[in-house]
Structure 1
Amino acid sequence: MTSPNDQQRPLVGMFWMLSAGLSFVGMNALVKVLGTSMDPIQAAFLRYVFGLVFLIPAWRALIGTPLSTRNLTLFGLRGVIHAIAVMLWFYAMTRIPLAEVTAMNYMTPIYVTLGAALFLGERLAVRRIAAIVVAIVGVVIVLRPGFREVSPGHLAMLGTALALGGSYLLAKVMVRDIRPSAVVAHLSIWVTIALIPFAVAVWQPPSMRDLGILVVVASFATAGHYFMTLALQAAPVAVTQPVTFLQLIWATLLGTLVFHEGVDIWVVVGGSLILAAVSFITWREAILSKGKATPPTPLQGSETPAQSRY
């Protein structure tokens, strides 16, 4: 965690969050390119295999983590849930526009808030309930059921956000006893293991081009995680969270200019509502936790829904 005195550089925090957003959007675009030549499940598996290289700096945290029955169960369960989320996300990326993937992914923190109230006993105040309602309205605007076809890609993205929410709730439980860096590192290992049987079922020999793209994807993902960590160290989440809105703008521009996807104003409007709700909840959490020493959580520590989703 960082102390309040360490988080007094808002412009620096916004810059690093901006860099993280660019990294994630670039990664999304590469996954979309890859979707035309490789099964999404195989691509997800190889992305995590290559990503294991970036765990080398965390080897001390891995070695120092007690592998009790409880910890192994939580690691394994979270690995399976997160693996499902990753497979659904890679599938959705190849089926629906970049802007829609980005907008719908903003729902993950909303699911975390609901899950924390339902399963962890956290209080759900009226203001949070109102923010959740606004976010749901945003999703309805993005999907517009009855006015256009809701494709399997849209359903996969809804499932992605929901599964990621479950993953972060487990992380929220785990960081009570385990160092956040170890929780993050173990996630990559267990997701890779969970993806093995699915990847074997669809395996096709990858080309050197595809392998090269996946190496860059893993690099972008790791860079995005690192930049977001720097952002959280430099400024409060309430300051840096609104910067993530730019991801929706970049995804829309990239989808239009590179993938010839039409600009859907309703996606921008719905995504803006979802992000506004997330930003409000984040701001309220920052106000409520001000001056309190609390353990890091997926929303307040070294790992956030936006940070470790890939």
Structure 2
Amino acid sequence: MSRPQDTTLKSHSAIERQTVAGIAFSVLSTMLLTVMFFLPQLGNVPANPIQSAFLRYVGGSLVLGALAPLRILPEPVSSRKLSRAAIWLHLLRASVGMSTLMFTLFAASRVPIANVQAILCSHGALILLFAVAIDRESVSWHHIVTIALAVSGAILVADPVTSEANWYNLAGYGAAAVASACWATEVFLFRNAAKHQTTILTMLIVNLFGLLVLTVPGYYSWRAVSMADALTLTAMGPLAVSAQFAQLAALKRAPLTIVAPFRYANVLFAAALGIAFLNQIPDGQAITGFVLIIASAIYIYVRTIAHSKYTQSATPPLKER
């Protein structure tokens, strides 16, 4: 017969493994999305945001259409048919997702990608507010400290005050702020839509809906691009789908209030991509911002594990028989 202490240790170990896995999937999802947003910057003749979004949904629909027969995400037994409310929730998520993509692409066409991703970091604070206000998830002052550190780091990286102030740049910063709000809403809607049903077929329907909505605007705003550039933009679709799979895996393993701060890693990934491909070298202030963002993620992880250990140790042991 196993001792109560052994059971407690095993329980804590399982919680820690689940938390680590959830964090890892959240970071993976963030990395894939950051790469997706970066792809339009690689084109010789940048496509407009609507055209880029259209090709993203083409790529997403193609990859999901190929995966649908494989049934990688099994359909829940208790919910074989989507309710009308769930369908509208998925379509609303798709609409917000399109807005996130187009505003982000517009912003990245006017200001450095790392600055855009730094502003997008504020979506983590909004996710936290949604989780508390709507889903009643518990939040401690440690979460507030985490958000404060990450947002401070993001402001240092973006540096909108000392950046060249003109309408061209200000429009980019404004679009990034709107994209951040849309992203937070999309993540929250995605999390709640997943409670109803999230299958390959559901995701395919969402992508086809996005494709349908953007067909006419994409046609009238189309710019001639090379085949290589078109394929690069179409590759945004598989990256977005992979990011959604990773986000689903993260939300199944850890609470939204835990995984959300780790989405601030998008600034680090964006900075690395900017250095490698666009020669956008961060200065000392930006590096300080990166350090704060990393510190915020480490802080909330350490506090989560410490709280888990305290909770397990505070549980009175069962009497051995």
- The answer to whether the Cα contact below 8 Å between 2:36 and 2:236 also exists between their aligned partners in 1 is yes
Task: Give distance in 1, aligned partners of 2:249 and 2:135.
Answer: 29
Secondary structure of the corresponding residue to residue 120 of structure 1: coil
Give the residue type in structure 2 aligned to 1:163.
C
Q: State the partner residue of 2:275.
A: 256
**Aligned positions of 1:287-306 closer than 5 A:** none
Task: Give distance in 2, aligned partners of 1:15 and 1:179.
Answer: 21
Matched, 1:89 2:110: no
Name which of 208, 211, 215 aligns with 1:192. Answer: 211
Q: TM-score, normalised by structure 1?
A: 0.70
Task: Give distance in 2, aligned partners of 1:67 and 1:10.
Answer: 30
Q: State the partner residue of 2:319.
A: none
- The answer to whether the Cα contact below 8 Å between 1:7 and 1:235 also exists between their aligned partners in 2 is no
**Aligned positions of 1:19-98 closer than 5 A:** 26-34=35-43, 36-56=45-65, 57-58=67-68, 60=71, 66-98=81-113
Q: State the partner residue of 2:185.
A: 166
Matched, 1:106 2:121: yes
Secondary structure of the corresponding residue to residue 133 of structure 1: helix
Give the residue type in structure 1 aligned to 2:51.
Q
Name which of 121, 126, 144 aligns with 2:159. Answer: 144
Deviates more, 1:138-147 or 1:46-55: 138-147
Equivalent pairs counted in the alignment come to 289
Task: Give distance in 2, aligned partners of 1:218 and 1:141.
Answer: 31
- The answer to whether the Cα contact below 8 Å between 1:62 and 1:185 also exists between their aligned partners in 2 is no
Name which of 198, 220, 227 aligns with 1:208. Answer: 227
- Give 5+ residue unaligned stretches, structure 1: 293-310
- 1:288 shift after superposition: 6.6
1:23–1:195 distance in 2 versus 1, CA, 3 Å: same
Task: Give distance in 2, aligned partners of 1:12 and 1:171.
Answer: 19
Name which of 265, 287, 294 aligns with 1:268. Answer: 287
- The answer to whether the Cα contact below 8 Å between 1:8 and 1:235 also exists between their aligned partners in 2 is no
- 1:166 shift after superposition: 0.5
Give the residue type in structure 1 aligned to 2:64.
L
Deviates more, 1:152-161 or 1:176-185: 176-185
1:122–1:183 distance in 2 versus 1, CA, 3 Å: farther
Q: State the partner residue of 1:307.
A: none
Task: Give distance in 2, aligned partners of 1:196 and 1:67.
Answer: 26
Give the residue type in structure 1 aligned to 2:159.
R
Q: State the partner residue of 1:154.
A: 173
Q: State the partner residue of 2:197.
A: 178
- 1:147 shift after superposition: 2.5
Give the residue type in structure 2 aligned to 1:164.
W
Task: Give distance in 2, aligned partners of 1:286 and 1:174.
Answer: 28
Name which of 148, 152, 156 aligns with 1:133. Answer: 148
Q: State the partner residue of 1:308.
A: none
Percentage identity across paired residues of the two chains: 22
Task: Give distance in 2, aligned partners of 1:268 and 1:190.
Answer: 41
1:129–1:37 distance in 2 versus 1, CA, 3 Å: closer
Deviates more, 1:187-196 or 1:31-40: 187-196
- The answer to whether the Cα contact below 8 Å between 1:7 and 1:236 also exists between their aligned partners in 2 is no
Q: State the partner residue of 2:131.
A: 116
Q: Residue by residue, what CA displacement relative to the aligned partner does 1:206-259 show, whole Å, maximum 9, x if unpaired?
A: 4323222223333444555667778999999979x86974x6455434423432
Q: Residue by residue, what CA displacement relative to the aligned partner does 1:6-39 show, whole Å, maximum 9, x if unpaired?
A: 9859999999888777755554443112383311
Task: Give distance in 2, aligned partners of 1:243 and 1:145.
Answer: 21
Deviates more, 1:200-209 or 1:55-64: 55-64
- The answer to whether the Cα contact below 8 Å between 2:118 and 2:158 also exists between their aligned partners in 1 is no
- The answer to whether the Cα contact below 8 Å between 2:114 and 2:158 also exists between their aligned partners in 1 is no
Secondary structure of the corresponding residue to residue 195 of structure 2: coil
- Give 5+ residue unaligned stretches, structure 2: 1-12, 312-321
Task: Give distance in 1, aligned partners of 2:236 and 2:115.
Answer: 20
- The answer to whether the Cα contact below 8 Å between 2:32 and 2:243 also exists between their aligned partners in 1 is yes
Q: CA RMSD for the aligned pairs? A: 4.4
Task: Give distance in 1, aligned partners of 2:209 and 2:301.
Answer: 29
Task: Give distance in 1, aligned partners of 2:88 and 2:252.
Answer: 31
